[in-house]
Structure 1
Amino acid sequence: MGFAAATQLGAGWSGNFQAGAVGVSTTCQPASQPLAVTMGEPDFVGTGDVPWRLSEVSFSQISPACIGLKYEVAYRVGQVWQALPSPSESVIDSSQLSVDLSGADISRADEFSLTFFS
C-alpha cells in the first residue's frame, strides 16, 4: 500500500485557501515527482464562523505508474482522520483526480491525504 500525504492546508477560514505541491514516496509515485494540489472555487455561505465552503480538492501530476490503482482520499481534523465518500470502485484513470467535497464538513480540516492501493 502506498500513502501520499497531499498537502498541509488550512481549510478553516483564515482569509485564504492554500494549495501547493508536496513530494511523496510511494511504490508508484516517485519522490522526485510531487503531486500538485488545488482547491475548487470557494462558495460563500455567510453563516457561522466559517463563511466559505470548498466544493472539491484536486490532485494532479499523478504518475502514470499509479494509473489503474484504487485510491481513497481522507482529511484530518486534529488527530482524527475521516475518509471522504467515494465510488465503490475508485480507480485512478488519469494523471489528474478531482474529489467532490460536498458530502463532507471540511471546515476544520488540517490536511488531506491521497492513498493508492491495489
Structure 2
Amino acid sequence: MLDEFDLKKKFKYFDFSVFFSMILLIGIGIAAIYSATYSSGSAAHLNYQRQILWAGLGLIVFAVIVFTPMRFFLAFAYVFYGVAIASLLLVLVIGQKGSGAQRWLGLGFLHFQPSEWAKLATIFVIARLFT
C-alpha cells in the first residue's frame, strides 16, 4: 500500500509539459478575465478573484486525483456511473432552467450540469470494461 504513494514512482510517469501548459492556460485565462472586466470603481473586476479561487480548488482536486490509485477509479466505476445516471434523471424532476433549458442541478450555492459528471463516469466505465 505504501509503495503506491511513493512520490518518485508517481512523478516518474508524470507529464510535466502538460501540467505546465495547464498552469500557463489558467494564468492566461485569469489575465484575460482581469483585463476584460477591469474598471476603476467597478465591482465587476472581482470576477478574476473568483476565477483564481476556482482555479485553486481545481488544482487541489487535480492533485487528489493524480495521487489516487487507479484501482480506486476502476473499483468504483459502476458506482460513479450509477450516481451520474441518477443525477441525470434527477434533473428531470428538480432541475433548474438555464438559458431556456432544464439542465442544471442546484445544491445551495453550487449549480452544476450532471451531464459533465456523466461524461467522466462513462469514461471510467468504458476503461473498466476494457481492463
Query: Normalising by structure 2, what TM-score?
Result: 0.25
Query: Normalising by structure 1, what TM-score?
Result: 0.27
Structure scoring higher RCO (CA < 8 A, sep ≥ 6) equals 1
Name which one, 1 or 2, has greater alpha-carbon Rg.
Answer: 2
Counting strand residues as a fraction of each chain, which structure ranks higher? 1
